[in-house]
Chains A and B, each alone.
Chain A
C-alpha cells in the first residue's frame, strides 16, 4: 500500500514567490497533520484536520500560511508570499483519528532565497 505522498520533494524559490506543497493521505485515514522541521525549532505542528475540517491552526506562523483539504484524501499548504525564514522541511502526516500512530511522508524541503 502507498504511504503518505508529498510533492515536491525539493523546492527552491525566491523571496516573495508563492509556494504550494501537496500531500496525499493514506487511503482510509481521516486525520491530516502539517509539521515544519528546522534544526533550531525541531518538529512544529502547524495545523491539523479531522474529517476534512481544520481543528487547530494555532501553529500556523502568520497569515501568509494557509492549508486546505479539498477532499478526504488530499491537502495543500500554501505560503504567499514566501520569506527566507520559511526555509525548512515540511512534513505531512496522516492517521486514523481513533489510533495514535502518525504516518509521515518523506517531506518537502523548501529553500527560499
Chain B
C-alpha cells in the first residue's frame, strides 16, 4: 500500500497570508485528489490531478502535480478564516476503487 506523507501537520497563520502544503510519496501516483474537511463534517473533494506537471486553480487555491507524479502541492493565496480546515490528499489505486488518504494538514487562519 502506497504511503502518502503530508506536511506540515499543522499550520496557523494570519488572514491574508499565503501558504503551501505538500503531499509526497515514494511511488508514482496514477492520480491524486485533494479534499478539505471542516469540523463535524466529512471530507469534500476540491480537485483531482492526473497528468504530471498539471496545474489547476480553484479561486485562491492552486494545485500542482509534480512532473514525476510522486508529489503534489496546494498553495492558498491570501488565506481567509473560511479556509480553516483539514486538507487531505488521497490516492485512488489504478484500475480500482480503493482510495487511501494522507494524515492531512490542519490549517487554522486567524482573523
Give me the interface of A with B, judged by CB distance under 8 Å: 4, 31, 33, 35, 42-43, 45, 48, 50, 55-56, 91, 93, 95, 97, 100-102, 104-107
Give me the interface of B with A, judged by CB distance under 8 Å: 31, 33, 35, 40-45, 48, 88, 90, 92, 96-104
Known: A43-B88, A100-B31, A100-B33. A33 touches B99 (CB 8 A): yes
Docked Cα-Cα span, A42 to B96, in Å, equals 22
Docked Cα-Cα span, A50 to B95, in Å, equals 13
A45 / chain B contacts, CB cutoff of 8 Å: 98-101
CB pair A42–B97 under 8 Å, yes or no, is no
Docked Cα-Cα span, A106 to B43, in Å, equals 9
Complex partner residue of A31 from B88, B97, B100, B104, CB under 8 angstroms: B97
CB pair B43–A104 under 8 Å, yes or no, is yes
Docked Cα-Cα span, A91 to B101, in Å, equals 13
